[in-house]
A and B are shown apart, each in its own frame.
Chain A
């Protein structure tokens, strides 16, 4: 849950990037890190294996500016996508304010996408959250690959509720900031409602 500090006039929110292994969650954060002004970001932390697969999480603190005198800070986290790291994924969802689901557009990863989406719903429910009620956006990543499935097909399978969704190629940055802005807006709108 967000943390409002009247003393330091800050509001802190937690956003988690979720999705199957190798879908590009860490790549999203790396792109954001590389393209953000030094004064608006903290250090990016990656707890990864020797082969650069996420072991526990990546973490990137970002400052977005002020709203009514309150500094807005977003803490971006990724989960480890590989199936057997489920215990770690559950831990990272604790206290989440908004979720980005990064789908891998490649046709052969469709089953992995669906499995990860179902896993997200289950793990959120264990923490007391309902995926249909929290700020949530979907990113169809790897649109630049020749074996990418059609967007209509991806929408049909992964986005039946028609939440905000974005096409992306995270390695070159397409769609990365659109996705981030959308989830940040949803989180702030939810705060406004008193969520």
Chain B
């Protein structure tokens, strides 16, 4: 089945929960609402995408996102599925019962972004110690132990993405370090 046909089938089945879609080469790119994400994953797995390459998180300032990269060992098509979740209460249904590979990937997403996965069999942190507080890969993660990094003049001033009204205020870049003392001649 070609990527276009697959996209048609997905749109037919899931209607308006598919908010964005695109076909880029052999890859179908979709954005689906969290209510339908598990169903969509199930549908895609049954359509032949039995291999979950990667499950990652992303923090757009207004919302968080869970990104699924799927592929198949039998045909060259790929699927790139994005599920935006609410920042205040990020919950998605876990896909560990569809692909077992999702187990550790979802634990890492929870660990670093705070997205909770309903129905995950072992919902604990994986990389950080069990009693860590905070989700480091979020853009507003502030920790006094973060060491400021200066580009020594190479950093450019770029506009940051607009935060939605009501979203938590981003911490912004850490304060620059104190200037170095002048060296002795």
Genuine A/B complex: no
